[in-house]
Structure 1
Amino acid sequence: MDMHPGVAPDTVTVLWCTTDGDERRKAHTLLVRTAADMLDVPLSELWLTHTDDGRPVLGGAGETLRVSVTHARGALAVALTGGSPVGVDVEVVRRLRAEAMARAWLAPVEAAWVAGLPEEDRSAAFLWLWTQKESVGKALGLGLRRGGMSRRVPLPEPWPPVEGAPPVLRPLPGDPETASAAAVVGGGRLVVGVARHGGTGSGPRPGAVHLRVHQVSPVAYS
C-alpha cells in the first residue's frame, strides 16, 4: 500500500497505531520518519522542534510540511500535509457520562444529537466530536481557548460511521475556511479526528482536500 503520496498541498496524510507505552517519543519518531519518507531525504536532513506554545514544527528539509502530533494512553497519531495548518487528535473509546458532558461542553445542536443516540453509542459519538474540536484548535493555533469546545464541527452522515469508509473533510458551520473529519478505527476502539485551516482560496470544500487515514505497525517506530 502506498501510504506516502509525497508532499501534496491538497492531501492530508494521517498515520496511527496502538502502542504499549512511550507514546510521545514514538509519535515523534513516526512523524520524523514519515516526513523523511514523503520528502525522500535522509533523516539527518530534518528535525523536530516546537514553537513557544508547543506546536510541533519540522526544521531543515521538513520546513515545507505542516504537521501535528497526538497521543493517548496506548495510541498515537500524526498528520502531515504540504499545505495549510493541520491538527490531529486521538482518543481511546471508553465509557463516559457522554450526555452530561455534551450538555456541559458542546454546542446545543451537538448535545442534542448525542442525547438522541442509543446510550451505547453516546461515548463514541461524544469523542467523535471532541477529537475534531481538539484538532480544529490545533489547526487554528488556539487549542481549546476562545470557546473551542462550543465551536461547532460537522455532524456525521450517517451514524455510526462505517469503519474503513474514507473520511471526508467538511467545512465547519460558520467557518468555511476550516474543515474537519473523524474516523472510528481499530475495530471501534479508537477515534481519530483531523482538521485543516485554509489553503484552498474559497475554503476547503468537501472532497477538495484528500484525507488519507492509515494504520501503521508500531514496531517500526519503537
Structure 2
Amino acid sequence: MTSTLADVPPLADDEIHVWQTAWSADRGELPFTSLLAAYAGPGAPAVVRGEHGKPHFPGAFGSLGFNWSHSGERALFAVGRGREGFEIGVDVERVRPRPRALELATRFFAPDETAMLASLPEALRLRAFLRLWTAKEAVLKANGGGLSYGLHRVAFRLDDASVVPVAFEGEIGPASAWGIDALDMGDDCLAAVAWRGSERRIRVFTYAL
C-alpha cells in the first residue's frame, strides 16, 4: 500500500506499523521525522537520544515507540504503542556479497548460530547470516544498547519463515519477552522488526515521497 502523510492510518495498541521508503543522504532523517510527527500529533516534545543514540520521546509521549534504519537506497520506519518507554527496533540490510560472513559469525555470534551457518551450503549462507544479523540488530536497537551490548548475547534459531528468539542474556532477557518479525522486502534486502511485549499485528506501508 502506497501512502502519503495525509493517509497515515490510526495505530491500534496491538499493531506495529512499518513504513518503507527511499533513502538519500540529501533528505537524511526527514522522512522518518515527518512520519513520526504524523503519529505523535501536536504537542509532541522534541526527540531525544539515548546514550547509544536511540531516538525516543521523553515522559508520557514515551508510550509511542519508534525506530528507523536504512541500507543502500532502502529505509524503514517502525512505530508502535505500549507502556511508557515502549521498546521497538527495526533493521534493514542490503543483500550484497559478504565473503567474511562466516568469519564475522565466528567472532560475534553465539556458537550454535555459527555452527548452523557453517552447516549450510554457501549459496544459502548469506541470507541466513543476514536474517540473524537483522534480528539481532533490531533487538539491540530496541533496547538502546547498540552493538556494544554484544551480538552473541541475543541468540536465535532460524525456521523456514521465521527467526525465533532462543536465549537473551542480561537486561534484555528473557527471550520469551520479545516479539520478532522478519519482513519481506523482496530479493535485494532483508529486514526485521523487534519489540518487547505481547504479539502484535505487523502492517507494512510504502511512503511515497
TM-score range, shorter chain: 0.7 to 0.9
**Separation in 1, partners of 2:88, 2:144:** 9
Deviation at 1:87, TM superposition (A): 0.9
1:179 aligned residue: 179
User: Are 2:88 and 1:57 equivalent residues in the alignment?
Assistant: no
User: Residues 171 and 121 from structure 1, CA distance in 2 versus in 1: closer, same or farther, beyond 3 angstroms?
Assistant: closer
Deviation at 1:189, TM superposition (A): 0.9
Do the aligned partners of 2:18 and 2:77 also contact (CA within 8 Å) in 1?
yes
User: Are 2:208 and 1:210 equivalent residues in the alignment?
Assistant: no
Do the aligned partners of 1:67 and 1:81 also contact (CA within 8 Å) in 2?
yes
**Separation in 2, partners of 1:213, 1:89:** 16
- Given residue 131 of structure 1, which amino acid in structure 2 is its aligned partner? T
- Given residue 75 of structure 1, which amino acid in structure 2 is its aligned partner? R
- Given residue 14 of structure 1, which amino acid in structure 2 is its aligned partner? V
**Separation in 2, partners of 1:172, 1:213:** 25
**Separation in 2, partners of 1:170, 1:120:** 22
Do the aligned partners of 2:48 and 2:58 also contact (CA within 8 Å) in 1?
no
1:27 aligned residue: 32
2:16 aligned residue: 12
1:164 aligned residue: none
1:74 aligned residue: 73
Identify the match of residue 88 of structure 2 among 86, 89, 112. 86
**Separation in 2, partners of 1:30, 1:116:** 42
What are the superposed Cα offsets for residues 112-147 of structure 1, whole Å, 9 maximum, x if unpaired?
A: 22222221222222111111111111222211223x
Do the aligned partners of 2:94 and 2:190 also contact (CA within 8 Å) in 1?
yes
Give the unaligned 5+ runs of structure 1. Answer: 162-166
TM-score when scaled to structure 1?
Answer: 0.73
Deviation at 1:102, TM superposition (A): 1.4
Do the aligned partners of 1:23 and 1:72 also contact (CA within 8 Å) in 2?
no
Do the aligned partners of 1:14 and 1:212 also contact (CA within 8 Å) in 2?
yes
2:4 aligned residue: none
**Separation in 1, partners of 2:123, 2:208:** 30
SS of the equivalent of 2:158 reads: coil
Identify the match of residue 120 of structure 2 among 111, 117, 122. 117
**Separation in 2, partners of 1:156, 1:3:** 33
What are the superposed Cα offsets for residues 81-137 of structure 1, whole Å, 9 maximum, x if unpaired?
A: 111311111111111022222112111111122222221222222111111111111
Deviation at 1:214, TM superposition (A): 1.5
User: Residues 112 and 18 from structure 1, CA distance in 2 versus in 1: closer, same or farther, beyond 3 angstroms?
Assistant: farther
- Given residue 195 of structure 2, which amino acid in structure 1 is its aligned partner? R
- Give the fraction of aligned pairs with identical amino acids, expressed as a percent: 29
**Separation in 2, partners of 1:64, 1:76:** 23
What are the superposed Cα offsets for residues 165-197 of structure 1, whole Å, 9 maximum, x if unpaired?
A: xx6x85442522233232241x21111121112
Do the aligned partners of 1:135 and 1:194 also contact (CA within 8 Å) in 2?
yes
Deviation at 1:65, TM superposition (A): 0.6
TM-score when scaled to structure 2?
Answer: 0.77
**Separation in 1, partners of 2:136, 2:56:** 21
User: Residues 217 and 62 from structure 1, CA distance in 2 versus in 1: closer, same or farther, beyond 3 angstroms?
Assistant: same
User: Residues 12 and 101 from structure 1, CA distance in 2 versus in 1: closer, same or farther, beyond 3 angstroms?
Assistant: same
Deviation at 1:51, TM superposition (A): 2.5
